[in-house]
Structure 1
Amino acid sequence: MSNIKDELTPATLLVTISVVILFAILRYKLRVSSKNSPPLPPGPRSLPIVGYLPFLKADLPKQFTNMARIYGPIFKFYIGNKLHVVISAPELVKEVSRDMDDIFSNRFLTISSSVVSFGGQDIAFSHNWRKLRKIFVQEFLSIKNLEACTCFRKDEVRKTVKNVFGKLGTTVDVRKIAILTEANILRRMVWEDSTDLGAELEKVTSKITELLGRPNLSDFFPLLAWLDLQGLERALKIENSKLDRIYVRMIEDRIKYNSIMLDDGFGDEKKKDLLQTLLKLKDKDDATSLNITQIKAILSNVIFAGTTTTVTLIEWAMAEIIKNCNVMKRIQEELADVVGVNNIVEESHLPKLQYLDATIKETFRLHPVSPFLLPRVPSQECKVGGYTIPKGSIVFLNVYSLHRDPRYWDNALEFNPERFLINEGTNKCDYIGNNFKFIPFGSGRRVCPGIPLADKIQMYMLASLLHSFDWNLPEGEEHDLTEKFGITLKKSKPLLAIPSQRLHDVRLYA
């Protein structure tokens, strides 16, 4: 065999030297570029392998707020090999959610979220979210459809008032009555003819919600994900399979029902609910086509996001209102003026209830249901606040810190609805994120699409409960506003309160 040196012809040697020189130049340029590029945000030191994980506490919203005071309005930390960035200033939130919204439009899909969203096929996590969101808003949350469903909301809220009236002088779990009312409203809007599945659905979704609130180590250490050390993925798959079977029954029943209606000559005369509308888009040969998995994922969006957000807000609002007697008095005076003491609350009254609206906004300020919103993941390396944010980082918008920052809010920890009244001179705050100091539902193109419905239901339910009843804590019970962070930021203990009759005419409770 000939020597390798003998095989190196002058041409081969020239090519080899050229490649080596080229690699050296590229390496030098990368070093220079790295030195000239902005640094990563500041942050605490991390331990090998686990990163900052051992130092994270259960009350993450407060911990991140305290860390922002130390490291500034944008800081980083590692969990495993994943870089997390927390943003706590309005101007930086604007950069992420408006100026570079296209880059930050993707969400961090956890293993648990992947299970519940049928592999990221829903509005929140799908890469095709624009199409799904457009269908959802146009077909479910249009002004026409919301008005058509007014009767559902009225029926269920009146049932709740009647139910509470039957418990006068006894302890009522506010969270439970809110869950029941909200769930029944959404079920009737989504699949009006399948109410027999309500109890089974509520049991399954309650378990899934509880599992979603648990942190999963597999998200931060992908190499260990196959072990599912905490058993969360297995547990969620079991519960989601139950949910899937419910959806299959609902869909089969609706297809059968539609066929019967068509055979009887009724066609499309019956008002469509969301499920019927989505099924009409199934396998269409155009851009609006949906498959069965996407339909199931959208149904889950409505059930989980719709119920969780509104119920949590109502419980926090009632807790603050009961604690602040002057606030309750002013709300009830407004209700007496707008609604009247010999009348029941109608949705037509809601736009006139400015103080109640301010109270709800103040509740969202002090107790944001989603204190970090859904974490975002940049699709490319970018710069925020003068710092480099690498592609694939997990970015939190710290709503909790923004809403309690004394630089933007006078007496920031005080519950004071007056700050949201327009005639008090405060810059107007809405729910669509135009004021970056107040973003309970997010901002930009990924702002929560369910705002119109959530606003109607929470206003209507609170107005009806406060117009019909006076509320007090049980004797000897102290006001408790401690928080529990999970899938949402909810009260650590359920709100138990005692209602008493407020309206003289008992027929108003029927």
Structure 2
Amino acid sequence: MQTQRFFIGHSAGEHGQDIDLSGFSSLQQLKSTLSQAFSFADRSSLLLHSNQSGELNSLEAVKSCKDPVELRVAQNAKTSIRVPPGPRELPVVGNHYEIYPDPLGNYDRLFARYGPVVKTVNMGTTIYQTNDPEIARYVLREGDLFTKTTSEQTHPLYYMQQQSALFTCDSDSPAFSIAHKFVPPSLSPRAVAHHTPLIQKAARSIFPVLDLLADEDKAFNVYQYMFKLAGMVIWGVVVNEDLEHFKAVDTKPAKTIQVLGEWLHLMKKTSLRPKWYGSLPFGDPAHLRAAQRELWADVEISIDNCTRKGDGPLPLSDPAASLRASCMADFLARARDENGEGLPRDMLISNVVILLGAGFTTSASLLSWCIYSLVRYPGMQERLLQEIIDHGADGKQDWTYDEVHAMPFLDRFVKEVQRMHNPSFQTARNARHDVVLPGGYLIPKGSIVIPCFPSLHKNPAHWDNPLRFDPDRWNEEGLAGRLARKGLYTPFAAGRRGCVGFNLALMEVKTVLVELVYRYHFEDSSPETVVYDPEFLVIRPINFYVSPTKRKQWPAPSPKA
């Protein structure tokens, strides 16, 4: 038996293995075994290196090598595999002040300085961030190398983790496969199309308040109003409730919405503190636990109120079953699989809570950034209004799912907003093993890796003029799909743990834009430079104001229309 020592890094002892070479008949066969044994993400990139002979290009050269053989990657053949670099840590806080209060700008700065994978330590928690699309593809791909384990205390969603809900449970949780069977059908294009009247009704509920503001020449805080409007949409579609958020200009959000917003805020805030902080029996950690108990109790009541118990079960095998549900929670409560089994009660409540929370917070932020883009980038309102007119808008039309998605400029505009101002940020994955990423970066087992979407979507190495807002970059048919497969454009993440609510989110945002742009012209009235909240779950503008003006005349349809 002939054995050889193989290793990664600078030392044959720390990350090394002894391999019996007698069973290999080719170098390619050996490389395949080594790439699997050392968890190379790109198994075709492995190179064999000797300090004495340089690159080893044959099996005979490997067998005759007297020294341990180092493994490297083709993309960086002259350098040993290493842990990603990062800024120097300070005592206790680590790199906190290298990241906050502007994580978006600071991560771009760190990528420019240290490369496509950066190690940061914040209050004792180590996170690896990447702006490289190839690396992001491997990280987001559920499999042998990476997974989503929210039950790990270092995961950004740890304090939100619910092992009975699709979005927040571990990928290896027994609940994942069960929830994945029931939740996606409730959010399918057919189901969302069925609920389009609820979306449009909620979108129009803001008109009386915006009319009053327009008459009085007043501005409004966009996120606060989109927070209430998105809540109207999501509560209507998910639990068939009218929250009546726009009875007056200053109507407060419904109590459940306030509790949910507080729960999300405290969860994110707690995740940025040292690990021991979340166990405190007082202060924010105690408030977080109390908010969760109250939220679950309120949502359970809403589910019971909207479920049509006398209408019988809804078989998952019937593609039209969702059309017989009054709302998504009604579908989830009555859906049955091939064995006649439904979602267990605890999973039903948890999944509805997460649908409400993830749905309205992300949509509120995306709607806010859409309005920001309308007023920030010249010509956008005019082009969007013309398209709406060309598709038959008259202020009274009941839009269908297909009609809204048939507007090409609207689609390109939303895509570009998601590229430039995407609300999602913390799509974290856990390394199952020590993993070697493209470029020769070693990610230790159990580490958190986050593809940084804002930086990915504006990476100058992969995008033409990335800081220019240009919806026409999406003119090429199928471009978004091709870029998604390359890992370059992932506004709803990717892989098995990608966002299952994207159909609803896009329909909501597009419908609201169609209704608002047809009725109003918006002007930026922000008193200062717009900033975002660095301690919230998603990226939201907190001081962005606009003034609405009611339209009194509209352009004629284009000749080609």
TM over 0.5: yes
TM-score tier by shorter-chain length is: 0.7 to 0.9
Letter of the 1:464 counterpart: E
Supply the distance in 2 between the matched residues of 1:159 and 1:175 (Cα, whole angstroms): 16
The counterpart of 1:68, out of the listed 111, 118, 124, is 111
Gaps of 5+ in 2: 1-10, 18-67, 72-80, 246-252, 313-321, 556-561
Aligned to 1:5: none
Task: Decide whether the 8 Å contact of 1:345 with 1:464 is kept in 2.
Answer: no
Give RMSD over aligned pairs: 3.4
Task: Decide whether the 8 Å contact of 1:369 with 1:489 is kept in 2.
Answer: yes
Deviation by residue 1:249-307 (Cα, 9 ceiling, x = unmatched)? 2345457x626x78xxxxx996343323333369x995954332222211121111111
Change in Cα spacing, 1:125 to 1:102, as seen in structure 2 (3 Å) is farther
Deviation by residue 1:294-345 (Cα, 9 ceiling, x = unmatched)? 2221112111111111111111111121123312111111122122457636
The counterpart of 2:87, out of the listed 28, 40, 44, is 44
Letter of the 1:401 counterpart: S
Supply the distance in 1 between the matched residues of 2:545 and 2:537 (Cα, whole angstroms): 19
Task: Check if 1:482 corresponds to 2:527.
Answer: no
Task: Decide whether the 8 Å contact of 2:483 with 2:489 is kept in 1.
Answer: no
Letter of the 1:417 counterpart: P
Aligned to 2:285: 233
Tell me which moved more, 381-390 or 37-46: 37-46
Supply the distance in 2 between the matched residues of 1:340 and 1:289 (Cα, whole angstroms): 42
Aligned length: 459
Aligned to 1:295: 348
Supply the distance in 2 between the matched residues of 1:382 and 1:287 (Cα, whole angstroms): 42
Task: Check if 1:494 corresponds to 2:541.
Answer: no
Aligned to 2:191: 145
Aligned to 1:57: 100
Q: The residue matched to 1:483 in structure 2 has which SS? A: coil
Supply the distance in 1 between the matched residues of 2:99 and 2:351 (Cα, whole angstroms): 33
Task: Decide whether the 8 Å contact of 1:165 with 1:501 is kept in 2.
Answer: no
Deviation by residue 1:87-109 (Cα, 9 ceiling, x = unmatched)? 111111122224x6453221444
Gaps of 5+ in 1: 1-27, 263-267, 506-510
Letter of the 2:284 counterpart: L
- What's the TM-score, normalizing by structure 2? 0.73
Task: Decide whether the 8 Å contact of 1:101 with 1:445 is kept in 2.
Answer: no
Q: Report which of the two has the higher share of helix.
A: 1
Change in Cα spacing, 1:285 to 1:226, as seen in structure 2 (3 Å) is farther
> Shift of residue 393 of structure 1?
0.3
Supply the distance in 2 between the matched residues of 1:227 and 1:185 (Cα, whole angstroms): 36
Q: The residue matched to 2:547 in structure 1 has which SS? A: strand
Change in Cα spacing, 1:228 to 1:384, as seen in structure 2 (3 Å) is farther
The counterpart of 2:204, out of the listed 130, 142, 158, is 158
Task: Decide whether the 8 Å contact of 2:309 with 2:334 is kept in 1.
Answer: no
> Shift of residue 33 of structure 1?
0.9
The counterpart of 1:413, out of the listed 467, 473, 481, is 467
Identity of aligned residues (%): 19
Aligned to 1:508: none
Q: The residue matched to 1:236 in structure 2 has which SS? A: helix
Letter of the 1:104 counterpart: F
Aligned to 2:16: 33
> Shift of residue 39 of structure 1?
2.3
Aligned to 1:460: 511
Task: Decide whether the 8 Å contact of 2:404 with 2:510 is kept in 1.
Answer: yes
Aligned to 2:147: 105
Task: Check if 1:450 corresponds to 2:493.
Answer: no
Tell me which moved more, 66-75 or 166-175: 166-175
Aligned to 2:167: 123
- What's the TM-score, normalizing by structure 1? 0.79
> Shift of residue 394 of structure 1?
0.9
Letter of the 1:83 counterpart: T
> Shift of residue 193 of structure 1?
6.2
Task: Decide whether the 8 Å contact of 1:114 with 1:120 is kept in 2.
Answer: no
Aligned to 2:131: 88
Letter of the 1:337 counterpart: D
Aligned to 2:229: 181
Task: Check if 1:327 corresponds to 2:380.
Answer: yes
Where does 1:210-225 land on structure 2 (aligned, <5 Å)?
210-216=265-271, 220-222=274-276, 225=278
Change in Cα spacing, 1:270 to 1:346, as seen in structure 2 (3 Å) is closer
**Greater length-normalized contact order (CA 8 Å, ≥ 6 residues apart):** 1
Task: Decide whether the 8 Å contact of 1:483 with 1:489 is kept in 2.
Answer: yes
Aligned to 2:523: 472
Aligned to 1:244: 296
